[in-house]
Structure 1
Amino acid sequence: MTDSDFPVPPAPAGPPPDDGWTRKVLTDDVVEAWTERVRTALPGTEVPRVFRACLARTIRRSLMRLDSGEVAVITGDIPAMWLRDSSTQMWPYLTLVASDPRGPLADVLVGVALRQLALIVHDPYANAFNLRPDGRAHNPDDEWGEHPADQLIWERKYEVDSLCFPLQLATRLFEVTGRREVLGPALQAAQVVVRTLRTEQDHERFSPYRFVRPGGNALDTLPRGGRGGPVAVTGMTWSGFRPSDDACTYGYNVPANLHAAAVLDDIGALVTAASEESGPALAAEARVLADELRAGVERYGVVVHPVHGEIYAYEVDGLGAHLLMDDANLPSLLSLPLITNVRQDDARYMRTRRFVLSPENPTFTQGTALGGVGSPHTWPGWVWPIAVATEGLTTQNRSRRVEALRTLAATTAGTDHMHESVNAGDPTRFTRPWFSWADSMFCLLALATAAPDRYVPPAAPRAEPA
């Protein structure tokens, strides 16, 4: 593969203008206090310096206040708001706001959640949105079947996780801060999410979704007139695209289904608190749907590997085909204990983990500078820092977490920031100079390692790392 095999995104518009408000949201004193905590836990390393840079940049450069009072979040060097990325970008700040639930940083997280929930209601099939309805698009030639053009949508690749990560963030935010502003919008969004996931359990018969990118490669468009490859009805919910924004080879993404099931289980208290009338019924419906998704995974998404035994497949079609791999982007198989209720010591997860972190996984690379999981979204031999952080966050071994932090801090090419992917043998070669999601994953790993008593993980139950 060469650079030309991957589309170059439009030139970034730069960060939103900084009028000074973000420095009041995340003050230097707060940044320094948390950096000192990391420095105390990890003395004599580059980790505290990189943590400080990553913790500050997401808040100070990627946020935009909207007239509605909501807060938009750009993904970094692409001037659009991904529902998945904007959720994961906020993860480390849940730990910070737990001690100041009415402070300006908590206000920002509420504003982000409100924006995400409104966007889900606006169009549950879109993965990324403009900050304003200005008609900008990743590719203006994309065809959406009968769905009309929409000035607010940057890209309309349907990914199950785009619906689930915002609800998961809203749930944790409500638990940590008690901020009731998110409840009504969360109830509305949850209704849309449950309806959409149900529709996509029988994609062939009921789905209105189509996506064609004329002239796009196989990872950027869906076959059969935009419907995707054939699938059977399995109980799982269909996804057109992976969390990498690459097209699914087979329509049922297993980690995305397990993540969706965990989120559906988790939102009960949120929607019930929002409405004593409709909330309990919606919570019950969500739990039933969650059970169906998990049953589908058990029946169709588990395979026997000749070396590793019974493990999760990455994708299946319900017709007998399966894909054995993992992708750095979340939801991933590696990330299951981080974002679902799958335990770190679950036997099937441990077998799957050994597969993911082995040469049998076609996206795994071990180089002279670093090793880990990559993605078909980039080249073979390139490791994604997101995956290295995920490996650290899902291990039971603290020394492995520290090793992951040291590796990440040493492979920034002198920028003190994470990147999308890094050449495993030459970390001066990387993709995307500003990838805020990766910065936040590094911060999350640092907090989990240095402050396990304060760390708020993305998924329930909120147990301390082992």
Structure 2
Amino acid sequence: MEEKSALATALMEYAQAHPLPDAATQTMFRTLLPDALVKATRRQPDGTYFVATGDIPAMWLRDATFQVLPYVRLIKDIPDLKPILEGVLRRELAFVRLDPYANAFNETASGAHWRADDESDRPMSPQVWERKFEIDTLCAPLLLAVNLYAETGDASIFDIDFWATFTLILTIFEQEQHHERSPYFFRRSDTDENDTLPNNGLGNPIGDTGLIWDGFRPSDNRCEYGFHIPANLLAKTVLNHLLPLMPVDERLLAKRTQTLVAAIEQGVMTYAIQTLPSGEQGLAYEVDGLGHARFMDDANVPSLLSLPFLGAIAADDPLYLATKAFVLSPQNPYYYEGKMLSGIGSEHTPPEYVWPIAVAMEGLVATTAADKMAKLLLLVATTGGTGQCHEGVQKDDPLQYTRTWFSWANMTFCQLALDVIQQQEQEGLR
């Protein structure tokens, strides 16, 4: 508790020492920067750290990585963050080893589940909250590790446990390139069709593309078509980053990784690049390798919008610019324009609810300081007076929102604030 208190003070002092141009924005940044650390992160008996998603007690590995990612860039200023972030990484890796097909986990083996009657190819562990297979779940610890190494240069995180877990992740990815041979299925009865997999739990039919099959989107809603393009591009990106860091005696592992990366690249080139509803060439959100494609974007990351932030594509790549223009237009079925807020929402929340995560992501992929600051100010103005970034906010009325406390959204706001601060400092040096 004392450790958290000292770190919370250090984080608030950091915010105070790096003022933003607007007083209300500065206050919200100072308040939210300790949010994930103080309210969501708990030390475990084994020295790892569990990160709750917010007002739901479980730990989604995807959410957890994005919740703590802003802290990675603060390690040089606040070195005591480093062992906590490494502890989060070790907890994520341990959960992957427990069940690589699960997306969310309990803090203890409590037996709590989102739905206890879910059917899958194996019984749910009492420490598994939900067993929806999502590529981004397995990418999450790899993304955190890549960012930690880039910030600190400390390769000690790449220990035996890390590479053992990486090998397991790679094996699952290879298996799901051929989902027809996979034992995994997921069925949930008496629910919306987007909350379970069709075809007796196996998902809709797919072709052979070289891409990794994905059961559920980062929103936890099912993939309509089996190949989720943003998640495949995230997988390719983190695998590429880890290739030069592999132990020299792991030649076979490196070869397998290179083969998978090449297959994803070819699959994207062959199946994902399509004519968008705008008439431009861009990226589809999902494809099935049988001629079908889903043209949309969802607020949850990885998304098409977020690809430059994830390092998967350059922000000025013509293919991305065309894709971005499409997903930030009414041609995207989940893009909403309102009196107070415009941006991308999700099938996961009611229509006409814009997600602050997506608004912040618009700022994070923006190339000018003015655009970044505009999105930051918009987020501050649409909290419904709570000072919190919610899950979804009604486009005309910020008093209507989903989830009182959604730590991922709060920390993506902080990620954008840190971007603005960094840009201010760079401009000051010039």
TM (norm. structure 2) is 0.96
1:339 to 310, 319, 323: 310
Structure 1 residue 425 corresponds to structure 2 residue 396: yes
Q: Which residue of 2 aligns with 1:121?
A: 97
SS in 1 for 2:178: helix
Q: How big is the shift at 1:225?
A: 1.4
Structure 1 residue 43 corresponds to structure 2 residue 21: yes
**Counterpart code for 1:208:** P
**Counterpart code for 2:3:** W
2:106 to 116, 126, 130: 130
1:69 to 47, 60, 85: 47
2:343 to 352, 368, 372: 372
Identity %: 41
Task: Point out the more displaced range, 172-181 or 320-329.
Answer: 172-181
**Counterpart code for 2:248:** E
CA distance in 2, matches of 1:348, 1:260: 19
Tell me if structure 1 keeps the 8 A contact 2:124–2:131: no
Q: Which residue of 1 aligns with 2:12?
A: 31
Tell me if structure 1 keeps the 8 A contact 2:11–2:34: no
Q: Which residue of 2 aligns with 1:57?
A: 35
CA distance in 1, matches of 2:8, 2:335: 39
SS in 2 for 1:311: strand
CA distance in 2, matches of 1:234, 1:426: 44
Q: How big is the shift at 1:302?
A: 1.5
Aligned residues: 425
Tell me if structure 2 keeps the 8 A contact 1:160–1:256: yes
Q: How big is the shift at 1:450?
A: 0.9
Tell me if structure 1 keeps the 8 A contact 2:12–2:31: no
Q: Against the structure 1 CA distance between its residues 70 and 181, is the aligned structure 2 distance closer, same or farther, given a 3 Å change threshold? A: farther
Structure 1 residue 21 corresponds to structure 2 residue 6: no
2:420 to 449, 453, 462: 449
Q: Which residue of 2 aligns with 1:390?
A: 361
CA distance in 2, matches of 1:183, 1:44: 41
Tell me if structure 2 keeps the 8 A contact 1:257–1:294: no
Structure 1 residue 176 corresponds to structure 2 residue 176: no
Q: What aligned pairs does 1:156-235 form with structure 2 within 5 A after superposition?
A: 156-184=131-159, 185-204=161-180, 206-235=181-210
Q: What aligned pairs does 1:256-275 form with structure 2 within 5 A after superposition?
A: 256-270=231-245, 272=246, 275=247
Q: Which residue of 1 aligns with 2:218?
A: 243
**Counterpart code for 2:219:** S
After TM superposition, where is structure 1 displaced by more than 6 Å over at least 4 residues in a row? none
Q: Against the structure 1 CA distance between its residues 51 and 90, is the aligned structure 2 distance closer, same or farther, given a 3 Å change threshold? A: same
Structure 1 residue 283 corresponds to structure 2 residue 254: yes
CA offsets 1:167-226 (integer angstroms, 9 cap, x no match): 01112112322444421222112101111111001101x211110011121111011111
CA distance in 2, matches of 1:222, 1:349: 30
CA distance in 1, matches of 2:23, 2:353: 24
CA offsets 1:15-70 (integer angstroms, 9 cap, x no match): xxxx343113x241432223331x2xx32342111111111111101111111111
SS in 2 for 1:64: strand
Q: Against the structure 1 CA distance between its residues 322 and 282, is the aligned structure 2 distance closer, same or farther, given a 3 Å change threshold? A: same
SS in 1 for 2:289: coil
1:415 to 386, 391, 402: 386
Q: Note the residue ranges of structure 1 that are not aligned, 5 or more in a row.
A: 1-18, 456-466
SS in 1 for 2:33: helix
SS in 2 for 1:365: strand
